Structure 1
């Protein structure tokens, strides 16, 4: 059973996640978060000193949830090369779920990462973790070695990132699907 403090933190973060993603960090006020979380103002400030601290906690928790979903999805695949292709399938599915709203980390970076080094560091940490995960999958894949492990990992990472952005612009998974086909030829 969760302690009361964690229940309040979860309510705040659930609300912040929904609002930051849907309407943006800069367009979301603390009072809206307090109201929609149905908590007292003192409760928010007991757990988060500033709106920036709340954003950092949101990015951190979003990354933890994102990565656990990704890992679970990839672990369903037994073929090492298939795991690389499953990265694209997972991202296509997540973009459908998010109505092609794009990457929450890029969105947060666009609004706050440029001006706050703590926010930027948290976002960079999430992206580095993603790249490291891809690198591990590449190293274990037994790919054709058309590219080095590092080159293939970087290619997959950049193609995923770019195709997710493009999918968010055109509101469809075509570019993610195309990137997957290209990677399939390289592995």
Structure 2
């Protein structure tokens, strides 16, 4: 059973996640978060001294949830090359769930307008985690060696990131699946 403090933190972060993703960090006010989370103002400030602190906690939590979902999706596949292709299927599914709203980390990075180094470090950590995970999958897949492990890892990362951005522009998964087919030829 969760302690009361954690319940309040979860309510705040659930509300912040929904609002930051749907309407943007800059367009979301603290009072809106307090109202929609149905908490007292003192409760918010007890756990998050500033809006930037809340943003950083949102990115950290989103990163944890994102990676656990990604890892679970990849673990369902036994074939090492299939694990790489599962990345694209997972991101297709996540974009469909999010109605092609794009990557939450890129969205936050683009519009938060904060120079707090803690924020940038969290965004970069999420993206580096993705790169490291892809590299591990590549090293374990016995690919065709058209590209080196590093080149293939970077190609997959860039194709995945670019296809997610493009899918958010055109509001469909075609580009993510196209990137998957290209990578399939390389592995």
Following superposition, the deviation at residue 118 of structure 1 comes to 1.7
- Report what 1:65 is aligned to: 65
Following superposition, the deviation at residue 117 of structure 1 comes to 2.0
Following superposition, the deviation at residue 111 of structure 1 comes to 1.4
- Report what 2:24 is aligned to: 24
SS in 1 for 2:100: coil
**Pair 1:85 & 2:85 matched:** yes
Following superposition, the deviation at residue 113 of structure 1 comes to 5.9
* C-alpha RMSD over aligned residues: 0.8
Deviations 1:92-144 (A, max 9, x none): 00000000000000000001266332211110000000100000000001101
Report the TM-score when normalising by structure 1: 0.98
- Report what 2:139 is aligned to: 139
- Report what 1:119 is aligned to: 119
Q: Please tell me whether the aligned partners of residues 135 and 149 of structure 1 are also in contact (alpha carbons under 8 angstroms).
A: yes
Q: Please tell me whether the aligned partners of residues 112 and 119 of structure 1 are also in contact (alpha carbons under 8 angstroms).
A: no
SS in 1 for 2:112: helix
> For the residues of structure 2 that align with 1:117 and 1:41, how far apart are their CA atoms?
26
- Report what 1:6 is aligned to: 6
Which consecutive unaligned segments of at least 5 residues does structure 1 have? Answer: none
> For the residues of structure 2 that align with 1:69 and 1:105, how far apart are their CA atoms?
15
- Report what 1:96 is aligned to: 96
Range that drifts further, 11-20 or 115-124: 115-124
SS in 2 for 1:102: coil
Deviations 1:131-175 (A, max 9, x none): 000000000011011100000000000000000000000000011
> For the residues of structure 2 that align with 1:34 and 1:104, how far apart are their CA atoms?
21
Deviations 1:52-90 (A, max 9, x none): 000000000001001000000000000000000000000
Distance 1:148 1:113, change over 3 A: farther
> For the residues of structure 2 that align with 1:113 and 1:122, how far apart are their CA atoms?
15
Report the TM-score when normalising by structure 2: 0.98
> For the residues of structure 2 that align with 1:98 and 1:44, how far apart are their CA atoms?
26
Which consecutive unaligned segments of at least 5 residues does structure 2 have? Answer: none
- Report what 2:105 is aligned to: 105
SS in 2 for 1:55: helix
